[in-house]
Structure 1
């Protein structure tokens, strides 16, 4: 039986001996699918005493984080989403100070410390700036998880080295920790932890384990009684259960849905009238169908029968629809609006009349650059839409690219897409296998490397090279690589040798996009697409390098051949003396 993430929280805060409480804290418990995709978040902030407006900074930081984090994409990782939100809050606070009377003295401006935890699935994600602290209590042992960003000038004088609002840029400490049921996390400002010893904290939580609000209030009271002169805030969180489900409960849906029957023309299935088959592969069967209620055409996709006994691949199949609903791009196929509760495993996508890029290349065996560029640019924009959502496509190939009757490109298959937010929630979608098609997959996949945006750049480079030359740049040699040494032996064959009309600077861009070492490739697909239209001197200069620098393997092979001929000639000469 699956369980959901659940925590018990206790919180308390007091101004203490100060006239105003400059601390702020908060908690947000997400419900439903948001609990699975975004988790439970809590945060604490401490305004600096030298500022009359730091209480505004503290409240803004905590409230803004708890609001904006849940507005980020479900596909983003916790790390990416939280750090972007914190960075935006920091920039806003810094701007407020710069526009205020305190612009020449940041210590009197909108400045505060900030610490937060996001609990998601079976992990805790910690974010920390300043000198509030986060502890973990496990097996009656208290472990401090954060470092104080405070510089001690003397026994009585110190200053914050890092805080929100001090500078336009902020460095955020980040950790990800595996959770166990029963773990207790404590967030506290310096007004509390400087006046409490570990044993007292542990004992107080143990005594009030069934009422953590009382435990938090008692810790605040004891810190005050022990002489604290600062504001006092503490949050206590106990992990009661962990999430055993994926976002949107894809695995759960599989237990509720029946495997679909074999479909044929003129059948009715789930309220759709089947018209004809569009594509049959070893992984899926795609049919043109019409919605029985609206009459609208859809591309109805069901898993191939071989997937029936493979729950991992079935989860990936259902994940395609989840992905399609989160990508908003005219160059990516959209999911059809849900109209009925499904009873079988299937996916309904928009129907696009057109041809695959594979067929386009058959029809245009020798296209010019003016025809190739618009197609590559549109594919690049579609890929960029995935990357903005922290998704790696991993299976870019001509069969997965559709060109409609107006010339608009659509990326149509998401079966191999890796989603950062899902990868961190559960490991079931991971795989040691190369999920894409070997001829177009980046070399790092074959030596056990993880896909990145640069991997998709490589695949787009292969497609572009094939469109211009009719050939694959490395043939089957990439899929045979099993080590970095094998990759280093791969030699880029100039596209110009196959198509003399390819400009030298375009060939230079292809060389960079197709480099076997991902570090040497373009970091972003937009850079590659830009260089296909805008000549750059360094890309052209590469063609003027000596052969030994441009293609060492070719140089040494040629030199060996010449030496061999020389030796053979010398032997003939000696024999004739």
Structure 2
């Protein structure tokens, strides 16, 4: 394996026996940075023959895919990024048809098929709608990877069941495959694949080195065999794959020497160290001043004990990468980089303020409204992570800062899980649980992957602690490492005689910290909403007795009932007499 993904691409298209070519195709091999984060994109579209404007649709589909895909967030998975682009393209094409003379005849509108391939890291991601096709040749085996979305009325008569622009809603086929060096992918329209058999394709690919010439040769062969349609063929051969092992990461990290431990007053890489802010087994953190601008910032270096730990060094560099991609007032920002680094370290903005942990020590019984305000700010920061398919995984009072202006910010990204980066290569070995146990969701202790609901659990525990000064399950969660043990966990109500907390709010917290993630809120926004406004379901469940809600009405009713009973007794006694 090499340090980077490398491919050879060949492609050719011809109008064939048609008056115009309604096919469109393209490929993009980006520069190194986007090659790592977004990969290589190849796309092919075939306009439907019944439409005079289908060539516009196929050109728009391919161009928008190749351009817009690279404009999506780097932290997104390939699947999310590509599907968002394709759904937007579908909406645009469908709107064009609806505003055209063909709005009542969709088979004459802006409609096309599309087959797209994204190669990222050591995996291929396929996206498909319509009846163009993607094949893979591995060794001597040619495999069709896509299914035709064509509905047959009779053997001779058929129509497209799915295509871009056909309907307002779009169903996209998706497939992810592991790559091997030597794999060849073929993207073809029906004008090619219906007139070339597997034996012809396998034989041609076994001898061809020039893929452009080979694509043209195969298109010509399909034409000579009687293809009446447009003809387009793309060939992609995997020449090299990026290394995935820890040694490759160590080599990349070794490009920067490790910094020494820093003393107050020392000049280091253009900064002056003002004082040490924090030292632990995971990092050493300093307050520093840029010698040129005078700006203050936080400088973070690895501790001596972990300087041979490639996984830890990778996470340290990833912290700054994450901070530069989240732009939210409630998330710590990376510091400006006025010059290149000469050592391995990361820098962040400096915040004047205190941690939520210290704030809780100073305010052991905060008002409910103050708690809500802090939690709502944390939730806004947390949702910024979630929108980029990131999980914080270590949300706790020590990782929340309240600055001098009262703004709440999430800090420390050492445990953040970035879905888009996990596609690039196999993760390095590291701690099974990166977060702090008391605030870590129970599913992590079962060896399961986290989800948005896992971060929500941590936020629920923080909220519970702010209102009660304790944890909802005490210290029992880290020890509950089987489903049965987690079912035995017992939630301790936040209600007590010392604080006036509504019963429905306790039900809100109970749902947020359920051991079973499927029983929690699905989104942080739902939890924050219920924290401020009573959920009707909880009101019914926690509805107090009539004597508590309307004591006067209760006693009037009791008095009336007693009066009736007395009258009945008197009447009964009179009758017996």
Aligned to 1:550: none
Give how far 1:429 is off. 4.3
Aligned counterparts of 1:499 and 1:374: Cα–Cα separation in 2: 21
Report if aligned partners of 1:316, 1:429 keep a CA contact under 8 Å in 2: no
Instruction: Answer yes or no: is 1:217 the counterpart of 2:213.
Output: no
Q: 1:247-262 to 2 correspondence within 5 Å? A: 252-262=251-261
Give how far 1:427 is off. 1.7
Aligned counterparts of 2:431 and 2:274: Cα–Cα separation in 1: 38
Give how far 1:274 is off. 1.0
Q: Which runs of 5+ in 1 are unaligned?
A: 547-577
Aligned to 1:365: 364
Report if aligned partners of 2:2, 2:241 keep a CA contact under 8 Å in 1: no
Aligned counterparts of 1:295 and 1:382: Cα–Cα separation in 2: 28
Aligned counterparts of 2:498 and 2:512: Cα–Cα separation in 1: 18
* 3-state SS of paired residue (2:181): coil
Give how far 1:250 is off. 6.8
Instruction: Answer yes or no: is 1:197 the counterpart of 2:197.
Output: yes
* 3-state SS of paired residue (2:34): helix
Aligned counterparts of 1:4 and 1:339: Cα–Cα separation in 2: 28
Give how far 1:252 is off. 4.8
Aligned to 1:60: 60
Aligned counterparts of 2:250 and 2:383: Cα–Cα separation in 1: 28
Cα root mean square deviation, aligned = 1.6
Report if aligned partners of 1:45, 1:132 keep a CA contact under 8 Å in 2: yes
Structure 1, residues 455-485: CA drift from partner, whole Å, max 9, x if none?
0000000000000000011122111111212
Structure 1, residues 160-209: CA drift from partner, whole Å, max 9, x if none?
1111111111111111111111100000011111111000111122232x
* 3-state SS of paired residue (1:439): helix
Q: 1:402-481 to 2 correspondence within 5 Å? A: 402-429=401-428, 431=430, 433-481=432-480
Give how far 1:49 is off. 0.9
Aligned counterparts of 1:200 and 1:71: Cα–Cα separation in 2: 39
Instruction: Answer yes or no: is 1:484 the counterpart of 2:483.
Output: yes
* 3-state SS of paired residue (1:214): helix
Aligned to 1:84: 84
Aligned to 1:322: 321
Aligned to 2:103: 103
Report if aligned partners of 2:311, 2:430 keep a CA contact under 8 Å in 1: no
Aligned counterparts of 1:280 and 1:330: Cα–Cα separation in 2: 26
- More displaced stretch, 318-327 vs 221-230: 221-230
Aligned to 1:28: 28
Instruction: Answer yes or no: is 1:284 the counterpart of 2:283.
Output: yes
Aligned counterparts of 1:236 and 1:33: Cα–Cα separation in 2: 24
Aligned counterparts of 1:543 and 1:77: Cα–Cα separation in 2: 42
Aligned counterparts of 1:21 and 1:259: Cα–Cα separation in 2: 58
Report if aligned partners of 1:327, 1:386 keep a CA contact under 8 Å in 2: yes
* Cα distance change of structure 1 residues 267 and 399 upon mapping to structure 2, 3 Å threshold: same
Give how far 1:103 is off. 1.3
Aligned to 1:388: 387
Aligned to 2:5: 5
Aligned counterparts of 2:513 and 2:101: Cα–Cα separation in 1: 54
Count matched residues: 543
Q: Which runs of 5+ in 2 are unaligned?
A: 546-577
| TM-score in terms of structure 1 length | 0.92
Q: Which runs of 4+ in 1 moved over 6 A?
A: none
* Cα distance change of structure 1 residues 432 and 150 upon mapping to structure 2, 3 Å threshold: farther
